[in-house]
C-alpha cells in the first residue's frame, strides 16, 4: 500500500488530520488499533474552545456541533460553600465555548470519513513506523490476518498516550516532562437535566465539577483518592458526596438519576519534546497529556492538527518545509500554555492529601483574589477561553 501521510491512531487527532489533509488534496491512510464501536464507546471530555469549533466548522464538521452544542459565556467557580462567582470568557476575552461531547466529535469525524470513502483501517495491530529518519518511511501492521506494509512520505503519530509512535524516538533524542497528581476523578454520566453552568467546586471534602452533554445528559466528577475503585461508589454514595461539595442552592438544583457510565481516571500531565523525529510528527495525546481540569486535552489535539495539516499542505502544495520545520516549536508553545493552565487550575481547585495549613491558607487567598480582582478574573477567562492559534485568525 502507498499513501502520502500514514496516520497512526483514529481518535479525534488522527481522523481530524485525515479530514483536513483530504480537503487540501492530500491522501492519507488511518491505522486504528481498536474497533470503531470501541472508539465510539469511549466517554471523554466535552468542552470545545471557540478556536476548536472554528477549525471543525471550517472543515465541514460543524452541522451537528452548531445545532446540538450548547454555547456558554463562561464557567462558575465555588469554594468551601461560599458564594459562587462567574468567569465570563465572553466579556473578558470575547470568546465563548461550547459543550459538545468528544464522543459526538468522534461520530461526526467517522461520518465525514465515510462520506469521502476514506481509508480508515480499524483493528490494525502491531503497527510499527519504520525508517522515519530516511526519505522513504513506511509503516508495517497486521490487518484481518494479513501482514501489510504502507509506504508513505510522512508518518503522523496520533496514537494517544499509550501509542507506539512516541516509543520509537530514541531516549537521547526526546525529553519527557511529567507531573503526577495524588488523586483521581470519578466521573458519572446520567440522563438527567444538567444545572445551568459548568460549575467547578473546591470544598474541604475535595473537588467537584458539574458539566453537561445535552439538555438531558449530565456529566459530573468528584475528586477521589487513587486507591478508590468503582465498586466502592454506588450511585447513592456518589450523589450524596457530589451534593455535599456544593453550596445548598446548587446542590438542590442537581437532578440525580441512575448512572449510565462511571469511571475513575488518574490526573497527570506530561509533555514530550520535540514533537518530531525525522519524518514522524506527533499530535494530540501522543505528545502530551493534561489533567482534565480546564478541559484542554481535546482542544490541544485540535490545535496540533491545525498546525500539522497546514505544514503538510505547505510541503505538498507549495514545496515549502519551513512550517514542518517549525511545527514542533509552534505546537509546543500552545501546549505548554495549556499544560501550565491545567496544572494551575488543578492546584487551585483540589485538596491535596499532603497540604499543610499554610498551603491551605495560600490556596484560599488565591481563590479570594480571583473572586475579587478583575485582573485575575480576566487572566483566567482568557486562558479558559483558549489562546489564539499562531499565524491564523483563530
CA diameter of the chain: 63
Determine whether 296 is an active site residue.
yes
Residues 82-141 that bind ligand APR (CB under 6 A): 102, 124, 127
Question: Does residue 30 belong to the site contacting ligand APR (CB under 6 A)?
Answer: no
Q: Which three cell numbers stand for residue 27?
A: 491522501
**Separation of alpha carbons 40 and 113, rounded Å:** 14
Q: Which of 51, 194, 294, 297 binds ligand APR (CB under 6 A)?
A: 297
Pairing type for strands 217-224 and 175-190 reads antiparallel
**Separation of alpha carbons 200 and 226, rounded Å:** 20
Determine whether 72 is an active site residue.
yes
3-state DSSP call for residue 88? strand
Q: Closer to ligand APR by CB, 334 or 377: give it.
A: 334
Query: Residue 322: which region, alpha, beta or left (left: phi > 0; alpha: psi -120 to 50)?
Result: alpha
Give the one entry of ligand PHB, ligand APR, none that residue 163 binds, where binding means its C-beta sits below a cut-off of 5 to 8 angstroms depending on kind.
Answer: ligand APR
**Separation of alpha carbons 387 and 342, rounded Å:** 13
* Catalytic one of 296, 315, 350, 377: 296
Q: Closer to ligand PHB by CB, 141 or 185: give it.
A: 185
Pairing type for strands 70-72 and 97-99 reads antiparallel
Question: Does residue 11 belong to the site contacting ligand PHB (CB under 6 A)?
Answer: no
Q: Which of 8, 45, 56, 367 binds ligand PHB (CB under 6 A)?
A: 45
Determine whether 291 is an active site residue.
no
Residues 179-238 that bind ligand APR (CB under 6 A): none
Handedness of CA 252, 258, 259, 260 (dihedral sign): negative
Looking at the chain, how many residues does it have?
Answer: 394
**157, 129, 122, 154: which is closest to 3 by C-alpha?**
154
Q: Which of 219, 245, 279, 315 binds ligand PHB (CB under 6 A)?
A: 219
Q: Which of 98, 103, 192, 293 binds ligand PHB (CB under 6 A)?
A: 293
Question: CB–CB of 34/9 below 8 Å?
Answer: no
Question: Does residue 294 belong to the site contacting ligand PHB (CB under 6 A)?
Answer: yes
Q: Which of 3, 5, 7, 14 binds ligand APR (CB under 6 A)?
A: 14
Q: Which of 5, 29, 31, 367 binds ligand APR (CB under 6 A)?
A: 31
Q: Which residues bind ligand APR (CB under 6 A)?
A: 8-14, 31-34, 39, 44-45, 102, 124, 127, 158-160, 162-164, 284-286, 297-298, 301
Catalytic residues: 72, 200, 292, 296, 384
Amino acid at each position: 500500500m502507498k499513501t502520502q501521510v500514514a496516520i497512526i491512531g483514529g481518535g479525534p487527532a488522527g481522523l481530524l488530520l485525515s479530514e483536513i489533509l483530504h480537503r487540501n488534496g492530500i491522501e492519507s491512510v488511518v491505522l486504528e488499533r481498536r474497533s470503531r464501536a470501541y472508539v465510539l464507546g469511549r466517554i471523554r471530555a466535552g468542552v470545545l474552545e471557540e478556536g476548536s469549533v472554528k477549525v471543525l466548522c471550517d472543515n465541514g464538521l460543524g452541522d451537528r456541533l452548531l445545532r446540538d452544542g450548547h454555547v456558554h459565556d463562561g464557567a462558575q467557580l465555588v469554594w468551601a460553600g461560599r458564594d459562587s462567582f462567574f468567569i465570563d470568557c465572553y466579556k473578558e476575552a470575547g470568546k465563548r465555548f461550547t459543550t459538545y461531547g468528544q464522543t459526538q466529535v468522534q461520530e461526526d469525524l467517522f461520518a465525514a470519513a465515510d462520506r469521502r470513502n476514506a481509508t480508515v483501517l480499524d483493528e490494525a495491530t502491531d503497527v510499527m513506523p519504520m525508517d522515519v529518519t530516511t526519505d522513504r518511511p513506511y509503516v508495517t501492521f497486521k490487518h484481518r490476518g494479513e501482514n501489510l506494509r504502507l509506504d508513505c512520505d510522512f508518518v503522523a503519530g496520533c496514537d494517544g498516550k499509550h501509542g507506539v509512535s512516541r516509543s520509537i524516538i530514541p531516549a537521547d533524542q526526546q525529553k519527557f516532562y511529567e507531573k503526577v497528581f495524588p488523586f483521581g476523578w470519578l466521573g458519572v454520566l446520567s440522563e438527567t437535566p444538567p444545572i445551568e453552568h459548568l460549575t467547578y467546586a473546591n470544598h474541604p471534602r475535595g473537588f467537584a465539577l458539574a458539566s453537561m452533554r445535552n439538555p438531558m445528559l449530565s456529566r459530573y466528577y468528584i475528586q477521589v483518592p487513587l486507591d478508590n475503585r468503582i465498586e466502592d461508589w454506588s450511585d447513592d454514595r456518589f450523589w450524596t458526596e457530589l451534593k455535599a461539595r456544593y453550596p445548598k442552592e446548587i446542590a438542590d438544583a442537581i437532578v440525580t438519576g441512575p448512572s449510565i457510565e462511571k469511571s475513575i481516571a488518574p490526573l497527570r500531565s506530561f509533555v514530550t519534546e520535540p514533537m518530531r523525529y525525522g519524518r514522524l510528527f506527533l499530535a494530540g495525546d501522543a505528545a502530551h497529556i493534561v489533567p482534565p481540569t480546564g478541559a484542554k486535552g481535546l482542544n490541544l489535539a485540535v490545535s496540533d492538527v491545525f498546525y500539522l495539516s497546514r505544514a503538510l499542505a505547505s510541503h505538498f502544495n507549495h514545496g515549502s518545509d519551513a512550517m514542518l520545520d517549525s511545527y514542533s516549536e509552534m505546537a509546543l508553545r500552545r501546549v505548554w500554555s495549556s499544560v501550565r493552565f491545567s496544572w494551575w487550575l488543578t492546584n487551585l481547585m483540589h485538596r491535596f492529601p499532603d497540604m499543610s495549613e499554610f498551603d491551605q491558607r495560600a490556596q484560599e487567598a488565591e481563590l479570594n483574589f480571583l473572586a475579587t480582582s478583575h485582573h485575575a478574573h480576566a487572566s483566567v477567562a482568557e486562558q479558559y477561553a483558549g489562546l489564539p492559534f499562531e499565524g491564523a485568525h483563530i
